[in-house]
Structure 1
Amino acid sequence: MKYVAGESVKSFLEPLTPTEENHWIERFQNGDKEAKDILIERNLRLVAHIAKKYYSENRENEELISIGIIGLIKAVNTYNPQKGKRLVTYASKCIENELLMMLRGEKKKNREVSLNEPIGMDKEGNTISLMDIMENDGIDALKQMENAEDVVRVRQYVEKVLSKREREIIVMRYGLGGEEAMTQKAVGKAMNISRSYVSRIEKKALEKLKKAFDNSYLM
């Protein structure tokens, strides 16, 4: 590979014509290693063109091109001319897929980081994160939120993202209304529903709160 990070798009070689593409594909499939390099080098402009769509201030263009080249190499290695598509068409899809995989990986990583970022302090002065809160299945879960510095945001999310029934159950379960926290059984009795139904609604409500916190950190 003659590609060097930082090269301008203009410095990339011209794309292959259909006739040239067929010639080098045939040579590559007959074991010519030089043909593989030519197929990659002559499609670098395609990589740069597709990578442009994913450029942002927080992401280096060189990184995008490097990821795109991985997709191009995979395309060259797996291309089957018998399927009727040109290499450039098949490579475009492979390059796009590789870049999308990178973006999904970044999103997942950012989500994991946001869940572990501090959101406040408990009453003992210990730093707590959203992960600490959401992994705790017991009565202390929303009490920790109550003791956190961003309790106002917690209450806003309870009002904003939960349905009326979910809000009522969360308020009773975790004592957000200033009353003593109640067991699922007690909440069920008060609302004339089963304990298992309370549990299902509570779980769904906590997932909504988790998603609201998660999205606030990714914005």
Structure 2
Amino acid sequence: MVDKIELESLVKKSQEGDKEALELVCRNFKWFIIKNCNKIYIKNYEMNDLIQIANIGLIKAVKMYKITERHVFAAYAAKSIINELNGILRTNLKNPFSFSLYNSNIKGEEFIDTLVSDVDIEEEYIQRESYRDVIESMDKLSQKEKDIIVSYYFMGITLKDYVKKNKMTYRNAVYRKRNALDKLRKKLKK
């Protein structure tokens, strides 16, 4: 990403016909364009089509930008890119495309049933709920008990290092950890 002054200089060179400067301006907006194109779906348009349309908006911004204006080119270009994408959306809204995941394919299967995912939503929900229960139970422990559980299980600090850090005996650390775990187990069983 180039700074504001360098970008203005590249725009000026582009307006004078320097194709390399124009290419650098386009590269500077590459991720902005991809991000905004990812937000759009238009039937029969591929991602590359949308990127090209956005680049046309950027090139129009380069040609029309007046260097003497008080506007920052980056903001001017961003607006031009978004306007170009919105224009193609408006054009395609005249022929709306509706699709439901509950529509059926040729085999009679609903599209929702044909989606493949490695994510098990039920398992993820159960894990989230379990995690929430652990957090709520942790809130009921004393600060010293929370500290040893968080240090040992979440931060990976060994009991030996925990003992040194907190200036206590190893036996007391083991006892504190065991008591904290017992309390957590009891609270989680309820």
What's the TM-score, normalizing by structure 2?
0.44
**Which protein has the larger Cα radius of gyration, Structure 1 or Structure 2?**
2
What's the TM-score, normalizing by structure 1?
0.39
